[in-house]
Amino acid sequence: MLTGDTDTAELALDLAFIETIRRMKARFQAELLAASQSTDPDVLLSLRQESFFQLAEFLFAMKTYGIDSPDKLDRFADLHNQYLLGVRDDRERMRRYGLTPERIDSALFTGDNLRKLLANFAGPAPSIDQSDLARFLVTVMSTETCRKLLLAAEKSGFVERTRSPFGAVLIVSLGTIEAIYGTVIREARRAAAAH
């Protein structure tokens, strides 16, 4: 319940911040749609999904953290594994994410999965297997959602998808998603700080 001018002022700031977030996401979608090489309605619908925003956040984070070598990706995968093991040990967090111990175990990078992840990233064009991207994103989307988003990203000209000799679908981001995400996040941060 609101009481006094302070509460009203705080509420006004909260509402302004919500509006900043809403504008940021709308701008992100508009920029993506404008940059897309596809006009297919299904592709454009995929670009407007909240899950695409989460994919963009992940790609932006990888770029921002400077994950550009197998060694750095190995460390990133280790942090991912530690986080998921913490989720698996906390039944309430696992429930909130809608995960099971089996799904968490399948999203860990160990043994052959880790070697494959690092080998793909060591190539001339550092790439990540589509299924490995889904492992990284397990807490925010299903494997199938990740696959569909990457198909839309390919049709839009944002990523290249190539099949390896072993049948894996390798993903290389062309940087457009990260650039758009970075621009809109920076503008939103500045707008929020101005209030």
Is residue 140 within 8 A of residue 22, CB to CB? The reply is no
pTM for the whole structure: 0.89
Is residue 184 within 8 A of residue 31, CB to CB? The reply is yes
In tens, the pLDDT along 81-131 reads 999 999 999 999 999 999 999 999 999 999 999 999 999 999 888 999 999
Report domain extents, the chain: 4-194
Alpha carbon 154 to chain centroid distance? Answer: 15
Is residue 171 within 8 A of residue 129, CB to CB? The reply is yes
Between CA 54 and CA 141 the distance in angstroms is 9
Q: Provide the residue type at 41 as one letter.
A: P
In tens, the pLDDT along 108-121 reads 999 999 999 999 99
